Amino acid sequence: MAAMRRRSRFFTLGWLWLALGTGYFVVPLLATLVFSLKTGRDTYGVTAYKEEFLDPAFRESLFFSLKLAVFTILIVMVLLIPTAYWVHLKLPRLRPIIEFLTILPFVIPPIVLVVGLLHGFRWTPTWFRGGYLILVVGYGVLAFPYVYRSLDAGLRAIDIHTLTEAAQSLGARWTTVLFRVILPNLRSAVLSAAFLTLALVMGEFTMGQLMQFPTFAVHIAYIGQVKATGAAALSLISFAITWIAMLGLLLLGLRVGGRAAQVGGTH
């Protein structure tokens, strides 16, 4: 009887904490939604959303940031997938050093990072250092910890040594091993890294602002200064884009991850 009462109390407390947690995240969103729908003192409508969708600056900044995200994802993947694979396979002693490096983007202030980038890439042609590619490099640095850690977790989950050696014994070259054996089994980790990078680039403000590029986050900040409801609408749009991306990851992850568990026994 006492045990039942204790279980029931635990159950109630569990729900209470869940409600509190949900409220903590949902209430600000609801408040933002309500505010973004305000058209007057007591009137509501979708004017702010309409205005934003009709504003060419919104579309331009959105597509610009999406373009940056795609380039960043490509660059970090090309650089980090072979690196992470090689470190796991041949240079495991380097892992602590790389893990330390992944912390650096969090501790170096963005202004230092921007100045360092502009200084470090001084020698490059003007089309590179003056164009958006320099921002892609900066975003690559910011995305490095998320991408590397995601790939690292993916590589830990599979026996890359055995898979690599099995493929080699069957005649595969390094590129074949990487593209046909390792990469398909890292799909979940690669997707996770890609969506984290997408979310990061779509929301990154400081670098875009300091380098004076019209990114989506810079546009939101600008709208926030001139149209309060527009900024709230944009924030929710940005939030929706991120969540759609995350949902995509979840669905793909479910498809891929379902294969991971061993169903059969040892017989």
Partner 1 sequence: MPYLELRNVTKRFGPVAALDDVTFELEQGEFFSLLGPSGCGKTTALRIVAGFETPDAGSVVVDGKDVTRTPPNRRDMGMVFQAYSLFPNMTARQNVEFGLRIRKRGSEDRSKRARELLDLVGLSQQEDRYPYQMSGGQQQRVALARALAIEPQVLLMDEPLSALDARVRVQLREEIRRIQTELGITALYVTHDQEEALSISDRVAVMSAGHAEQVAAPFHIYGEPATPFVAEFVGTMNRLESAVVDGATGRVRWGTTELAVDAAKGRSNGARVLVLVRPESVTLEPLPNGQGSADVLSGQIVTSVFLGPVTRVKVGTDDGGVLSADVPSSSAARFLVGSRVIARFSAEQARVLDLA
Q: Which of residues 245-264 bind partner 1 (CB under 8 A)?
A: 259-264
In the complex, what is the shortest distance from the CB of residue 185 to partner 1, in angstroms, rounded to a whole number? Answer: 5
47, 168, 209, 242: which one binds partner 1 (CB under 8 A)? 168
Stretch touching partner 1 by CB under 8 A, among 78-86, 114-122, 144-152, 169-177: 169-177
75, 141, 163, 221: which one binds partner 1 (CB under 8 A)? 163
Q: Which two tokens stand for residue 173?
A: 């070259």
Binding residue count for partner 1, defined by CB under 8 A: 28
Q: How far is CA 79 from CA 38, 174, 256, in A?
A: 46, 16, 24
Residue linked to tokens 């759609």: 244
In the complex, what is the shortest distance from the CB of residue 190 to partner 1, in angstroms, rounded to a whole number? Answer: 13
79 CB-side CA count, 13 A? 14
In the complex, what is the shortest distance from the CB of residue 1 to partner 1, in angstroms, rounded to a whole number? Answer: 45
162, 175, 212, 225: which one binds partner 1 (CB under 8 A)? 162
Mapping DSSP to helix (H, G, I), strand (E, B) and coil, where does residue 79 land?
Answer: helix
Q: Which of residues 190-229 bind partner 1 (CB under 8 A)?
A: none
In the complex, what is the shortest distance from the CB of residue 255 to partner 1, in angstroms, rounded to a whole number? Answer: 12
Neighbouring CB atoms inside 10 A of 74's CB total 14
The residues that bridge with 44 in the sheet, in sequence order, are: 38
Question: Cα 175 to the chain's mean position, in Å?
Answer: 27
Amino acid at 201: V
184, 247, 251, 254: which one binds partner 1 (CB under 8 A)? 184
The residues that bridge with 38 in the sheet, in sequence order, are: 44
Closer to partner 1 by Cβ: residue 167 or 236:
167
Does 151 contact partner 1 by CB under 8 A? no
Rounded to whole angstroms, how far apart are CA atoms 1 and 220?
A: 57
8 Å CB contact between 76 and 197: yes
Binding residues for partner 1 (CB under 8 A) = 158-159, 162-163, 165-173, 176, 180-181, 184-185, 187, 259-267
